[in-house]
Amino acid sequence: MARVDLRNQANAAGEWFVDTRCIDCGTCRDIAPGMFGEDFGLSVVRRQPRNGEESDAWLAAQACPTSSIGTVSRRPRPGRLYPREIEPRSGVFDLGYCSEDSFGASAWLVVRPAGNVLVDSPRFTEALARSMDELGGVRHVAFTHRDDVADGRRWCERFGARSWIHTHDGTAAPWATDLLTEEQELQSGFLAIPVPGHTKGSVVFLLDGRWLFTGDSLAWSHERNDLTAFRGACWYSWTAQSDSLARLADSHRFTAVLPGHGARHLGDPDDLHDRLVRLVERMRA
């Protein structure tokens, strides 16, 4: 629960606030960019919710890895917020409950007839696990890279799931049952695509040629209104990341970018392809 006694004085006056335990993961700013902003390395409420926006504030509060977002009056959360389906009947769910161990990275659940897939790891809570039980449990846990393993082992044990990580990032999950080395399908329609760069073992996962789960290799930027990559958080090779994203553009199309860090975006495949090509040009420049 957010602590009123630690309320950041840079918050806009009003009911909602962010406390100073914030780690500046940016999750709230990606979920509700109109309400949350940054002040000297910490997230703050830039303006209070307007009509119809408070639901986004609650979503940001539930996702916050340090429970730093809340209301002065300590109002209770309005029911279950996550898992939250991205689009009706898509079978793709945002799980919220971000983990401080992954610096607040988002995790995703894909509901499939062949078995559900958890992409990266949210914070482990039994309440979330029960909600996932209702959706059919988890057969596979797929990690985009070493940074976002978080509570992955607990989720695997809870559901008896197979776990997948690229061999170059395998030391982050030595208990993983399967190591990725090249492009391959984990199940029909769910494709793992290595994209070394952010880490040596970074992978994106493409679902049904539409939904692209990108980890920290690619994201949407609200500020730029465009695709972006994080040069300041590239732990292996910026050149390799540029080249791997160029190969991605050459080989695949997608209509949705669902990252660990950064904003998510649903769009047109041709537009996103062109944006990715231009992003690679900027990265190489």
Break the chain into its structural domains and give their ranges: 4-71, 84-284
Determine the distance from the C-alpha atom of residue 270 to the mean position of all C-alpha atoms in its chain, rounded to a whole number: 23
Q: For residue range 195-224, what is the model confidence (pLDDT) as tens digits? A: 999 999 999 999 999 999 999 999 999 999
User: Which own/partner pairs from 55-62 qualify as long-range (CB within 8 Å, at least 24 positions apart)?
Assistant: 56/31, 56/32, 57/16, 57/32, 59/31, 59/32, 59/84, 59/96, 60/27, 60/28, 60/31, 60/32, 60/35, 60/36, 61/2, 61/28, 62/96, 62/97
Tokens of 112: 């499939």
What is the structure's pLDDT at 76? Answer: 85
Mean pLDDT of 274-284: 98
Q: Where are the beta strands (DSSP E) in the chain?
A: 16-18, 36-39, 42-45, 69-71, 84-85, 92-94, 108-110, 117-119, 140-142, 162-166, 178-180, 184-187, 190-194, 203-207, 211-215, 219-221, 226-228, 256-259, 265-266
Mean pLDDT of 93-122: 98
What is the structure's pLDDT at 171? Answer: 98
- End-to-end Cα distance, the chain: 45
Parallel/antiparallel/unpaired status of strands 36-39 and 42-45: antiparallel
What is the structure's pLDDT at 51? Answer: 85
What is the structure's pLDDT at 52? Answer: 82
Tokens of 233: 């958080």
Mean pLDDT of 154-164: 98
Its pTM stands at: 0.95
Q: For residue range 33-91, what is the model confidence (pLDDT) as tens digits? A: 999 999 999 999 999 999 888 999 999 999 999 999 999 999 888 888 999 999 999 99
Mean pLDDT of 99-110: 98
CATH class of 4-71: alpha beta
Half-sphere exposure of 80 (CA within 13 A, CB side): 12
Mapped onto helix, strand or coil, the DSSP state of residue 105 is: coil
Tokens of 74: 């300590």
Looking at the chain, the whole-number percentage of residues with pLDDT higher than 90 is 96
Mapped onto helix, strand or coil, the DSSP state of residue 111 is: coil
- Burial class of residue 120, CB neighbours in 10 A (0-12, 13-18, 19+): buried
Residue 155 has pLDDT above 90, yes or no: yes
CATH number of 84-284: 3.30.2310.20, 3.40.50.300, 2.60.40.10, 3.60.15.10? 3.60.15.10
Mean pLDDT of 216-239: 97
Phi, psi of 72 (to 5 degrees): -60, -35
Averaged confidence pLDDT in the chain: 97
